[in-house]
Amino acid sequence: MSNLNESLDDLMSLDGALCAAIVDYNSGMILGSKGNAVDMELAAAGNTEVMRAKVKTMKSLGLNDQIEDMLITLGKQYHILRPSEKNAGIFVYYVLDSSRANLALARRKVNDVEAKLKM
């Protein structure tokens, strides 16, 4: 996990960032997190179920594709889940204030961070 803290710091540098985590979706455990806008332990566990359900559904449908990211839009927040391409079973979980964050920049930031993540 050589650059875990750097990756989280990079995510938190974006305007509107509330919290971020790197999560193992096999166990639901947080490998690292920053910020405290939501209960990250509970959110990571719940979003692990979301990730597992989507992966299972894609397999059931016979879709030969990969999840780029998932966006959950709440009234005041964006929640982005991005599975790692290089680190199987890991996803980036990112929470932003929707009134301050630029969604396009946030998705780009998560993409860039995930691409550099070394576990």
The domain total for the chain is: 1
Give the C-alpha separation, 65 to 40, whole Å.
Answer: 29
Q: Is 57 left (phi over 0), alpha (psi -120 to 50) or beta?
A: alpha
Q: Containing domain of residue 10, as a range?
A: 4-116
Q: What is the pTM of this model?
A: 0.92
CB atoms within 10 A of CB 63: 10
- pLDDT category of residue 2 using cuts at 50, 70 and 90: low
CATH label of the domain that carries residue 16: 3.30.450.30
Percentage of the chain lying above the pLDDT 70 cut? 98
Write the pLDDT tens digit of every residue in 19-72.
999 999 999 999 999 998 899 999 999 999 999 999 999 999 999 999 999 999
